[in-house]
Amino acid sequence: MRESTHSGVNDFAVKLANVNGTGSASANGLLMQAIFRMGIPVSGKNLFPSNIQGLPTWYEIRVNGAGYTARALDYDLMVAMNAQTYARDIKEVRSGGHVLYDSSWPLDKSLYREDVEFLPVPFARMCNERFREPRERTLMKNIAYAGTLVAILDIDMPIVEELLTERFAGKVALRESNRQALRIGYDYAKEHFSCPLPFHLRRMDANHDKILIDGNTATALGCVYAGATVAAWYPITPATSVMDAFKEFCEKYRRDPQTGRNNYLIIQAEDELAAIGMVIGASWNGARAFTSTAGPGVSLMNELLGLAYYSEIPAVLIDVQRVGPSTGMPTRTQQGDILECAYASHGDTKHILLIPANPAECFDFAVKSFDLAERFQTPVMMLSDLDIGMNDWVVPRLQWDDAYRPDRGRVLSEEDLKDLPKFYRYANGDENHVAARTVPGVHPNGAYVTRGSGHNKFGEYTETPSEYQEVVDRLEAKHKAAANFVPAPIVASSGAQWGVITIGGCDAAVREAVDLLHERGIVLDYMRIRGFPFAEAVETFMRDHELCFVVEQNRDAQLHSLLVLETGIPKDRLRPVLVYGGFPLSARKVIEGILTHSEIDERTGRLMPVVRDLEETTCPR
Amino acid sequence: MPSIAKPVARHPSLERNSLGLTIRDYEGSMSTLCAGCGHDSITAAIVRTLWEISMPPHRLVKMSGIGCSSKTPAYFVYGAHGFNSAHGRMPTITTGAIAANRELTYIGVSGDGDSLSIGIGHMCHAIRRNVKMVYLIENNGVYGLTKGQFSASADVGSKSKRGEANRMLPIDPVMLGLSIGATFVARSFSGDKEQLVPILKAAFAHRGMALVDVISPCVTFNDHSGSTKSYLYTRKHEARATETDFVPPATEILASISTNGVTSVTMHDGSVVRFRSLPAGYDPTDRQKVMSYLQERQSSGEIVTGLLFADETVADLHEANNTCDAPLNDLPYEKLCPGAETLNWLQDEFR
Ligand SMILES: Cc1ncc(C[n+]2csc(CCOP(=O)(O)OP(=O)(O)O)c2C)c(N)n1
Ligand code: SF4
Ligand SMILES: [Mg+2]
């Protein structure tokens, strides 16, 4: 399998073990960006603790010329900069790999391994000699190990220098100390080790039309381009940077150049109950509004999501999922909010979900969320996650079509209302079962009382069963109609007997797993679901395959459950593959999961299910 | 059903306001509250106020939470949009609505359960943001709609209909508001339209949030002898701090009115509110003094009413955030989208 045999030119993985709050993030980012600028496919995964300073934190860089950049679990090089975690870090390096460590202090003998090569560099000692301030010494130690990596991995030095120049434009002294630190590590490596190591980098041209961006920044940009003017939120990891980025973009692109006044309003609410309330109020009043949150926030927002659903008010909610339940692990990733979001709130409720797999889709789907929320007059939730949202990804440059105009849905204008004898809020649904709405202040004929209590199609209060049912039945039909509007699934099919279904940020790891299995003669078709309600193609794919593995990052097989609940597919035609410990998915875990559900038939070399109950459940293909 | 009540020839005798509308045009659907409920009297005061200040009905927005009190927006101004939202969440939804369109006039009607229990956090933060709205609490000391449980405004010793006494200290929205920076605070009594109407007029003219606490007896669950929110008790213990005179913009102030003990505050829209202090030395522009006066009178069992405090110098939500003058819901998309070219070059930052 490629996973254990990688380690060559442009094919390796580095793990950097640091202490959080010491400035390592900046050094690790520098390395990522330099590799990106060398034109090589790369990914960086930040495995950080929920803490401000002093706890272990890791950063993983995977380089893969062929473009497989899901998390890799076999590390060719460990940059061990945290004595607290030496023991486990050194254990994790693959046999034949390398450990770079700070030799200012001797390494405990018990930590030595025969099968890995140790690269000792006295970072602390050298930085203490060169720099005077304690804080500077700590910071520069990080840049120094970056310098060593530049030497042993053959990172392009002019690119790194160029990055330092850009980063410290106007801060000459800072740039100089960074340069010096870089040189310290670089020169030491050149002098003491044979550079580069057997696995290293070579310039490519895979990135000229690409960018390096995290999903939260791309989401925020999508909200700007969608024309959102009101945002309300309550700080929560890992969603906070959505609003930080939105604010930054608004300050740049939404401030009137003449008047200096803001064409937007961002409110830091008192809690998530309020944040979603503000979004609903603003959307009711005709603005494009959104909130960003994570699972704990969605739990609080349940109440008003039901109000928006029932009274048919658009609302956009960006859910950057993290590990639950409860506070869970705030800095770890999961796909645990699928069911909660699909059916958020009491009573019969169903929502529209858009599920991006990477930052480029975050941008597109953010825009789409607003269009669908207004077209269908209902909350739309975009389910991102910590891995997508907070890690830097190499994705194609974002594209924009200047011909785009927001789809505001059915909103009656002053002109429409002027001659309207009577306005009935929930009557006369269109082909998608959406009735026209009105916005306050436009025309007296449009006035009515919006309510979350029982109402009939005229918008009047009701407690009459038939009147109540007429409205909620239309809501169900409306939700069904949205299936044709959410992004269609991505399908890669070669007529295989079995398929793999996945969702969101699992994409890269699952695609890699499919390719690796293919090399072993096991052929699987692939489908990534991108929206709920499910498009027809989702059910077709399942029916076309005898058996599908459903790969997702949660314990309870939530996507699997949703597929069973919302389509006619029998439960045992789907096999859950679940990885939910909190780290980004790797192909190895997917393969392990698939193989535990199956065995290879010695005679035919074909994959067979472990549970042999297929006959009974086989549907016509 | 919603439709603007136009000036109708059927009532030729009814007086018209400057929009040519009669007071009937400010009414809503039939109230379904108990006969004699204080909330209905407040509705009547709102109707009169809006008619007198010639509010264009469709430029008014009526917001509420859940409760008997929160039902009342349906009972005034047919021609205005309303939102009978969720229990306690009215301030959040109103804040969002105001964020989207600063040009309309907003009134939020709430109850003591809605605002002092489930929604107390939202109320406090709406006060802190100085959201420009009239925030009306129809305060009856009980949860009317869920049949008479004590609310957080029930006084110590106050008895429920079943005879149990409340032992916990009440939350007083007036003191609470003052302590967290409310910029307009008034208290009145549902039975006193003469006092309530000018207070409401001033409230609508205020620059930010006007917090108006109105004692509004619940005749079904809290109007008995042990109650401190009954008609009888309130009438007996009311102490007026001010008398309010509302002078609309561009109206000459009549020289005949004595200026003795009168404080004039010019409101944001140019109107003038004149408070006549009833106790000598009461200064409705001095927060500290107002708070100590109220505390002192309340500890001796009095319910102090009137326009108690006003400060027109504090920026509202939009001013504080430097939002553009035009409503955010009405900005042309061209103004909001930076366009393809910008997207292209801004991405150089991500290389
Ligand atoms: C989340 C939620 N919890 C409980 C209720 C039940 N409920 C309806 S009205 C109300 C209290 C209303 O009291 P108040 O706001 O004082 O209004 P009043 O009826 O006294 O005018 C309660 C608890 C609800 N509607 N929603
Ligand atoms: S229960 Fe009380 S508050 Fe509710 S309508 Fe009746 S009198 Fe009014
Ligand atoms: Mg009450």
| pLDDT over 80 at B7, yes or no | no
Contact A283 B330 (CB under 8 A): no
Beta strands in A180-225 (DSSP E): 210-214
Query: Given A396, A427, A447, which residue is the final one in a domain?
Result: A396
**pLDDT tens digits along A214-234:** 999 999 999 999 999 999 999
Query: Quick check: B278 pLDDT over 90?
Result: no
| Domain contains A124 | yes
d(CA B4, CA A447): 8
Range A103-123 average pLDDT? 96
Number of structural domains (chain A) is 4
Instruction: Indicate which atom in ligand 1 lies nearest the CA of residue B39.
Output: 21
Distance, CA B138 to ligand 3 centroid (Å)? 7
pLDDT of residue B45: 98
pLDDT at A513: 97
* Mutational pocket test of ligand 1: of B114, B136, B219, the residue with most ligand atoms within 8 Å of the beta carbon: B114
**Chain A, window 438-457: residues with a beta carbon less than 8 angstroms from a chain B beta carbon:** 438-453
At A613 the pLDDT is 40
A424-438 mean pLDDT: 97
Same structural domain, A459 and A494: no
Closest CA relative to residue A45, chosen from A387, A537, A340? A387
Q: Is the pLDDT of residue A383 over 60?
A: yes
State whether A17 and A160 are in the same domain.
yes
pLDDT in tens, A70-90: 999 999 999 999 999 999 999
In a domain, A276, yes or no: yes
The CATH number of the domain holding residue A537 is 3.40.50.920
ipTM of this complex: 0.95
In order of their start, the domains of chain B are: 2-322 (3.40.50.970)
Close Cβ partners of A546 (under 8 Å, ≥ 6 residues apart):
A497, A498, A573, A614, A618, A621
Q: Stretch A422-451: mean pLDDT, rounded?
A: 97
A502/A474 same-domain check = no
pLDDT digits (tens, 9 = 90+) for A187-220: 999 999 999 999 999 999 999 999 999 999 999 9
In a domain, A238, yes or no: yes
Beta strand residue intervals within chain B, DSSP E: 60-64, 81-84, 105-111, 133-139, 142-143, 149-150, 184-189, 209-215, 238-240, 242-247, 262-266, 272-277, 303-310
* Cβ–Cβ gap B339/A307 under 8 Å: no
Confidence of residue B274 (pLDDT cuts 50, 70, 90): confident
B contact test, residue of A38, A229, A283, A398 with most B CBs within 10 A: A229
Q: Is A407 part of a structural domain of the chain? A: no
The crossing angle, in degrees rounded to 10, of helices A465-481 and A295-311 is 120
Whether A438 and A459 map to the same domain: the answer is yes
A206 in a domain, yes or no? no
CA dihedral (A331, A337, A341, A347) positive or negative: negative
Judge if A341 and A468 occupy the same domain.
no
Interface contact flag, A400 B343, Cβ < 8 Å = yes
The pLDDT assigned to B250 comes to: 64
* CB B31 less than 6 A from any atom of ligand 2: no
Which residues does chain A have within 8 Å of residue B133's beta carbon, measured at their own beta carbons?
none
Same domain? For A154 and A230 the reply is: no
Judgement on whether residues A287 and A421 belong to the same structural domain of the protein: no
Q: B79 alpha carbon to ligand 2 midpoint, in Å?
A: 25
Confidence of residue A612 (pLDDT cuts 50, 70, 90): very low
For residue A277, which residues of chain B lie inside 8 Å, CB to CB? 85-86, 89, 91-93, 95-96, 122
Instruction: Give pLDDT, residue B44.
Output: 98
Q: Are residues A421 and A558 in the same domain?
A: no
Question: Could you tell me if residue A198 is inside a domain?
Answer: no
A9 and A140 both lie in a single domain: yes
The stretch B87-103 carries a mean pLDDT of 98
Give the pLDDT score at B11: 61
pTM given for the model: 0.95
User: Residue A205: inside a domain, yes or no?
Assistant: no
pLDDT of amino acid B259: 57
Q: What is the CATH number of the domain that holds A19?
A: 3.40.920.10
Q: What local confidence, expressed as pLDDT, does residue B3 receive? A: 35
User: For residue B161, what pLDDT band results from cuts at 50, 70 and 90?
Assistant: confident
Measured from the CA of B151, which atom of ligand 1 is nearest? 16
Residue that is last in its domain, among A456, A484, A512 = A484
Do A219 and A344 sit in the same domain of this protein? yes
Query: Mapping DSSP to helix (H, G, I), strand (E, B) and coil, where does residue A421 land?
Result: coil
Is the CB of B142 within 6 Å of ligand 2?
no
B87 CA distance to ligand 1 middle (Å): 6
Cβ atoms of A538 and A488 closer than 8 Å: no
Residue A517 lies in a domain: yes
Please name the member of A211, A279, A447 whose beta carbon is closest to the beta carbon of B58: A447
Could you read off the pLDDT of B219-254 as tens digits, one per residue?
A: 999 999 999 999 999 999 999 999 998 888 866 544
Residues A469 and A494 placed together within one structural domain of the fold: no
How far is it, in rounded angstroms, from Cα A46 to Cα B173?
A: 48
Residue A301: closest CA among chain B residues belongs to which residue?
B89
Higher model confidence: residue B264 or residue A153?
A: A153
- CATH number where A295 lies: 3.40.50.970
* Residues A273-326 pLDDT 10s: 999 999 999 999 999 999 999 999 999 999 999 999 999 999 999 999 999 999
- pLDDT confidence band for A7 (50 / 70 / 90): low
Range of A464's domain?
414-484
Chain A interface, mutation test: which of B87, B324, B346, most A Cβ atoms within 10 Å?
B324
Query: Same domain, yes or no, for A164 and A235?
Result: no
